[in-house]
Chain A
Amino acid sequence: MTNSRPVILKMENVSKSFPTPRGPALVLNSLNLSIFQGEFVAIMGPSGSGKTTFLNLAALLDRPTSGTIDFAGQDVSLLGESGMNMIRKHRIGMVFQRFCLLSHRTVLENVVFRFRYLDVPRSRAMSLAREALKEMSLTPHADQPARLLSGGEMQRTAIARAVAVPPDLLLVDEPTGNLDRDSAHGVMECFQNLNRRGITILLATHNPALLKYCNRCLTCRDGTVVETPLTGVSL
């Protein structure tokens, strides 16, 4: 596949295995792919196919067993823990299936939490968090404890947290898995809007209905990731 846009994430011969009592289990095998800036890529595949492992590698939360990962032209295998932390802090956003909110804190505090490990003054963090909440239409819920929100609102809070510091790459793991159809649609529209603003999104899902929001699809199967036409997905 050719693309004139800069590459944000590039994997070359990336393999990942996990130790088991019966020897290493290979989850990803010799992956070669590039994600370009501004893309909205869906990673499809059944449970256990390696989607989450792939996302963890992309999020620099894990290291490959072999192969190299470049993030915006930088070989992350050469970086130490702190270098990877720096990229995660400033350039990567993550949204999880079960939201991962701090339930006893307010919605605003959950979004401000994005700045917890960043050197940003509290007042600036508050203002950016409020902006992110406004974008997600959550301003009226700002001072409400997160546990009192509906599923859709929780996921939008999680998105607001992820984009309060605009990321170069937004990684999203099964964002609609716990939502009803309407809420899922609302959440996916949020992602679409963010993508239109230039944020690259990598979405792991096994729901083909979400493909209509994406502009590229990769399928995980038997340890490999293959390019799949958006219309030709079957799980």
Chain B
Amino acid sequence: MSRMALIHDIVESTRAQPARAGLSFASLSIGMAALVSLMAILGGVRQKTRLMIGELGVNVFGLVQQPASQLRAAHTLLSRRHADYLAANLPNAVVTGFRLEDSKSAGLPDGAVLIACDETLFKVRPWKIVQGRPFDAADIRDQTRCAIVSTALSQAMNLSVGHDISLHNMTFRVVGLAEIDAGSLETGDTQRMITPGNLLLLVPWSVPASWSTEPIPATTRIDSIFIKGSTPAPLDALMHRTETLMLQPDYAVEGLSWVTPQSLVHHLMQYQRRIMLAGGSIILLCLILGGLTLTSLLLTGVQTRVPEIGLRRALGASPADIGTLFMCEALLITLSATLVGTGGAWILLKLTLAWLPLPVQLGPAVIIIPLLSGIILGVVFSYWPARAAARISPSEALRNE
């Protein structure tokens, strides 16, 4: 009978003080919901960084320029000329450059990304052709109207190799399907170069500059250059050589970001620190507030329930039984608040995932850590009241009756 009776006691005692229990429950639920959100965002940031490192490819680094609107002079734009120059001067490396085009005006559906690239893209980035062929030098030189579609976009648009697609009123023939599972966690231009999402359409870079068959000048802007070393040796030497080349007066550009696995990890650490400082302090405050309300609830409970404690002792309860009762009452509140807060935040995050400006990852840790926190909070904040209740002398308690 004792386990069921304990549960019954706990529920009855909580019901006897609904306002205080509700206040504590609400504070803890909000705190737990915030904790879940913070963890989901931190998990999302970590996942995104892993994804970006994976998407960057093995032995690959990138040069990404800020958008043209943020640059001081037009002559400092990163262009095909730079990609060709680096390719010519880095014999042990493969160089690719690409540009993000306006997919909406091209007539692609929302979420799709249009990339103008060269024939070496698939040698540098870890994207695989699963059907058909990649672009070749002739496609670029001859401004062939061909396209490669990611498998996700091919399913969304019902396209396959040999099908035609219209972009800017020009017909492109799909020549290849590529496996690109880069997710869709991108939030900024630099990240979009690394993880452009999985709804991709690629065309030869020589076509979209003017969407015509006119010759394309080498000064045509590109957004990024990616370089892959031919050996698995550290990239330092190759990066140093690239840096030297890019400092040549004719090729110097401004607003260039170097994207390396290390820079991505550094970026993650900075991001995590900011989120932890901002979100963590609010959450801590919420949880401490909830915990203190819980302590106050239990202390008031101990004071008002002295005769009940006396009765329990008279009926054979040990001090440990009394302490356990109060601790279990606290645990009921913290655990139910944890479940409600966690569940609520989980559902809200799931529903708003598409609109959130931050990457979010909902994994088992997002459940387990708040649950453990709930247990720890329950034990820590009920320890003192439970100890006080257990220490009440039964004869003193019954005198108060």
A232 within 8 A of B: no
**B398 touching A117, Cβ below 8 Å:** no
- Chain A residue, CB-CB nearest to B311: A100
Selecting from B177-185, B230-238, B313-321, B326-334, the interface stretch reads B313-321
B1 within 8 A of A: yes
Taking each of B2, B317, B393, B398, which has the highest tally of chain A beta carbons within 10 Å of its own beta carbon? B398
**B401 touching A122, Cβ below 8 Å:** no
**A62 touching B5, Cβ below 8 Å:** no
**Provided the pairs A56-B398, A88-B314 are in contact, do residues A102 and B2 lie with their beta carbons within 8 angstroms?**
no
A82 within 8 A of B: yes
A216 within 8 A of B: no
**A61 touching B315, Cβ below 8 Å:** no
Of the candidates A53, A82, A115, A117, the one whose C-beta lies within 8 Å of that of B312 is A117
**B316 touching A89, Cβ below 8 Å:** yes
Residues of B within 8 A of A117 (CB): 2, 312, 315-317, 321
Of the candidates B16, B318, B393, the one whose C-beta lies within 8 Å of that of A82 is B318
Taking each of B2, B307, B310, B395, which has the highest tally of chain A beta carbons within 10 Å of its own beta carbon? B395
A1 within 8 A of B: no
Size of the chain A interface, CB-CB below 8 angstroms: 33
Residues of B within 8 A of A100 (CB): 307-308, 310-311, 398, 401
B168 within 8 A of A: no
**B401 touching A125, Cβ below 8 Å:** no
Of the candidates A62, A94, A118, the one whose C-beta lies within 8 Å of that of B1 is A118
Interface string of A87-113 (1 = CB under 8 A from B): 011101010111010101100000001
Of the candidates A62, A98, A114, A118, the one whose C-beta lies within 8 Å of that of B401 is A98
**A61 touching B313, Cβ below 8 Å:** yes
A180 within 8 A of B: no
Instruction: Tell me, rounded to whole Å, the shortest Cβ–Cβ distance linking A161 to chain B.
Output: 9
Of the candidates A62, A102, A120, A125, the one whose C-beta lies within 8 Å of that of B395 is A62
Residues of A within 8 A of B312 (CB): 116-117
B394 within 8 A of A: yes
Instruction: Tell me, rounded to whole Å, the shortest Cβ–Cβ distance linking A91 to chain B.
Output: 10
**A120 touching B316, Cβ below 8 Å:** no
B15 within 8 A of A: yes
Query: How far, in angstroms, from A89 to B29 measured CA to CA in the complex?
Result: 39
Instruction: Tell me, rounded to whole Å, the shortest Cβ–Cβ distance linking A197 to chain B.
Output: 21
**A85 touching B1, Cβ below 8 Å:** no
**Provided the pairs A56-B398, A96-B398 are in contact, do residues A85 and B12 lie with their beta carbons within 8 angstroms?**
no
**B319 touching A81, Cβ below 8 Å:** yes
A119 within 8 A of B: yes
Query: How far, in angstroms, from A120 to B315 measured CA to CA in the complex?
Result: 14
- Chain A residue, CB-CB nearest to B318: A85
A52 within 8 A of B: yes
**A122 touching B1, Cβ below 8 Å:** yes
Taking each of B15, B308, B315, B399, which has the highest tally of chain A beta carbons within 10 Å of its own beta carbon? B315
Interface string of B366-401 (1 = CB under 8 A from A): 000000000000000000000000000111001101
Interface string of A31-59 (1 = CB under 8 A from B): 00000000000000000000011001001
- Chain B residue, CB-CB nearest to A104: B16
A149 within 8 A of B: no
A24 within 8 A of B: no
Instruction: Tell me, rounded to whole Å, the shortest Cβ–Cβ distance linking B324 to chain A.
Output: 12
**A104 touching B12, Cβ below 8 Å:** yes
**B401 touching A85, Cβ below 8 Å:** no
Instruction: Tell me, rounded to whole Å, the shortest Cβ–Cβ distance linking B143 to chain A.
Output: 84
**Provided the pairs A102-B308, A115-B1 are in contact, do residues A52 and B316 lie with their beta carbons within 8 angstroms?**
no
**Provided the pairs A102-B308, A104-B15 are in contact, do residues A118 and B316 lie with their beta carbons within 8 angstroms?**
yes
A230 within 8 A of B: no
B4 within 8 A of A: yes
**B316 touching A88, Cβ below 8 Å:** yes
Residues of A within 8 A of B4 (CB): 122
A21 within 8 A of B: no
**B398 touching A119, Cβ below 8 Å:** no
- Chain A residue, CB-CB nearest to B307: A100
**B308 touching A97, Cβ below 8 Å:** no
A19 within 8 A of B: no
**B316 touching A85, Cβ below 8 Å:** yes
Residues of B within 8 A of A125 (CB): 1
Residues of A within 8 A of B5 (CB): 115-116, 122
Query: How far, in angstroms, from A59 to B315 measured CA to CA in the complex?
Result: 10
Query: How far, in angstroms, from A105 to B394 measured CA to CA in the complex?
Result: 22
Residues of A within 8 A of B394 (CB): 56, 61-62
Query: How far, in angstroms, from A225 to B312 measured CA to CA in the complex?
Result: 29
**B2 touching A89, Cβ below 8 Å:** no
A78 within 8 A of B: no
**B317 touching A116, Cβ below 8 Å:** yes
Residues of A within 8 A of B401 (CB): 96-98, 100
- Chain B residue, CB-CB nearest to A126: B1
A26 within 8 A of B: no
Q: Which of B281-313 contact A (CB under 8 A)?
A: 307-308, 310-313
Known interface pairs A88-B316, A116-B9; 19 further A-B residue pairs with C-beta atoms within 8 A, sorted by A's residue number = A56-B395, A59-B314, A61-B395, A62-B394, A81-B318, A85-B316, A88-B315, A94-B314, A96-B398, A98-B307, A98-B401, A100-B310, A104-B12, A115-B5, A116-B5, A117-B312, A117-B321, A119-B1, A119-B2
Would you list the 9 A-B pairs with minimal beta carbon distance, nearest first?
A89-B316, A56-B395, A117-B316, A62-B395, A61-B394, A61-B395, A100-B311, A94-B314, A88-B316
Measured CB to CB, the residues of B under 8 A from A are: 1-2, 4-5, 9, 12, 15-16, 307-308, 310-319, 321, 393-395, 398-399, 401
A-B contact pairs, 16 of them (CB 8 A): A53-B395, A56-B394, A61-B313, A61-B395, A62-B393, A81-B318, A89-B315, A92-B314, A96-B401, A100-B311, A100-B401, A116-B1, A117-B316, A117-B317, A119-B1, A122-B5
